[in-house]
Structure 1
Amino acid sequence: MKNQAKEIVDISKYLYQKNLVSGKSGNISSRFKGEDGDIIAITPTLASLDSLEEKDVILVDSDGNCLTKGIPSSEVHLHLSIYKKRDDVNGIVHTHSPYVTGFAFTDKKIKRHDRFGKMSSPYYRELEYEAPGTKKLADKASEAIEDDFVLVLKDHGLISVADSLKEAAEISEFVEGLAKTQFISHMLHLSEKF
């Protein structure tokens, strides 16, 4: 547990320093094997990822039952639903980064320029808005991501998944960089018209 808690804290601070989360937004988790099955280490509800400490990390079982004191992120069921459908996923990062979320609030899509997952579309998958923290969002997101590693949540943010929490964080950073570049490119094309 000590290693998982340290990793949650380290990645949380990394995401905050990279401006992929702000205030008390965003949540992350990692899955590891326990004596009685999978255990998920997850950030607590309403916590700033910048000031997180190892003692704040919450452990839950695969049904969401708390194994430690505290309250897990309100998106715990989103994480659990994805873990239940994806044996290849051991790290999940959910961010509200500025450029990706800006795209999520418009009809513009983020073009893919990567090899994460199956390239079935030139754009990242999107899921229409569902209220945060709900079972409906958890169920629909775990279906929509399929075997991909990125899902844009309309009017909300981004989910990145990977074999490790570190890789999921790096994917989130990569997608935010793409969204920023595409936004700047779009603005430069607009300025050419004037």
Structure 2
Amino acid sequence: MLEEKKELLVQIAKEAESTGLCQPGSGNFSIRDVESGYIVVTPSGVGRKFLTPKHILVIDIDGNIIEKNADVKPTSETPMHLTVYKERPDLNGVVHTHSKYATAFAVQNKPIESIVFEAVAYGGRVPVAPYATPCGDLLAQSIIPYIKEHTAILLEKHGVICGGADIQAAFLSANYLEDVAEITFIATVIGGGKLPEPIPQSELDKVGKA
């Protein structure tokens, strides 16, 4: 069931690790199938080196397991993924990473401002959802006030979650967000600790519609 999406999810998960968006064993990924409404999600406790399509589970929007072909459980962050899909019918891919620069901003409870136009990829300024215990409903609930208007959110003292129209868009957002976070850090150091002025949202909107 949904074999092509399982293969794509494995590819994205492995690429996220190889590009440094997450370390082995951290981060998780999912895709919603538009036709069936089912969701394919990465498992808990399987290293990406060993991850194959047989480890990918199929669940429904309530988290019930529809299909599994190995002795695995859905990622412990499944409730957060499901919250994205429930709150945003337009999003069909979710990427949760612990990328270093973006997570550093999350640790400091500092939003990532739109100081370069790459921020168009994820819509602009990235807010921080308040700290909540990982791996459960509290974390899932923490993003609700933000996911309604944002596709990229920092999770305080935790990491990053990005949604997209598909998994490729969500993955691209996570990559651009990490890039902007690193640029922001470097520019702030060069500026003697002063955060660069962000690009107005009106300007980002012009580029986004171009």
TM-score of the superposed pair, with normalisation by structure 1: 0.89
Change (3 A) 1:126 1:107: closer
Change (3 A) 1:47 1:190: farther
Identify the residue that residue 17 of structure 1 maps to in structure 2: 18
The one of 161, 164, 168 equivalent to 1:162 is 164
Identify the residue that residue 199 of structure 2 maps to in structure 1: none
Identify the residue that residue 149 of structure 1 maps to in structure 2: 151
- Pairing of 1:36-115 with structure 2 (within 5 A): 37-69=36-68, 70-112=72-114, 113=116, 114-115=119-120
SS at match of 2:168: helix
Cα pair 2:102 2:181 within 8 Å, conserved: yes
SS at match of 2:82: helix
Output one character per residue of 1:56-105: Cα deviation in whole Å (capped at 9) or x when no partner. Answer: 11111111011223200001111111101111000000000000011111
Looking at structure 2, the residues matched to 117 and 13 of structure 1 have their Cα atoms a distance apart, in angstroms, of: 22
Looking at structure 2, the residues matched to 22 and 118 of structure 1 have their Cα atoms a distance apart, in angstroms, of: 26
Cα pair 1:78 1:142 within 8 Å, conserved: no
Paired residue total: 186
Looking at structure 2, the residues matched to 86 and 106 of structure 1 have their Cα atoms a distance apart, in angstroms, of: 27
Identify the residue that residue 32 of structure 2 maps to in structure 1: 31
Looking at structure 2, the residues matched to 146 and 116 of structure 1 have their Cα atoms a distance apart, in angstroms, of: 17
What is the CA distance between 1:107 and its match in structure 2?
4.2
1:6 and 2:20 aligned: no
Ranges in structure 1 where 5+ consecutive residues have no aligned partner: none
Higher mean C-alpha deviation, range 163-172 or range 39-48: 39-48
Ranges in structure 2 where 5+ consecutive residues have no aligned partner: 194-210
Looking at structure 1, the residues matched to 137 and 96 of structure 2 have their Cα atoms a distance apart, in angstroms, of: 16
Please, what is the CA RMSD of the aligned residues? 1.8
What is the CA distance between 1:29 and its match in structure 2?
0.2
TM-score of the superposed pair, with normalisation by structure 2: 0.82
Cα pair 2:111 2:154 within 8 Å, conserved: no
Output one character per residue of 1:153-193: Cα deviation in whole Å (capped at 9) or x when no partner. Answer: 110001100110011001000000001111112223339xx
Higher mean C-alpha deviation, range 41-50 or range 79-88: 41-50
Change (3 A) 1:117 1:167: closer
What is the CA distance between 1:15 and its match in structure 2?
0.7
Looking at structure 2, the residues matched to 47 and 124 of structure 1 have their Cα atoms a distance apart, in angstroms, of: 30
What is the CA distance between 1:116 and its match in structure 2?
4.5
Looking at structure 1, the residues matched to 27 and 122 of structure 2 have their Cα atoms a distance apart, in angstroms, of: 23
What is the CA distance between 1:25 and its match in structure 2?
0.3
Cα pair 2:41 2:74 within 8 Å, conserved: yes
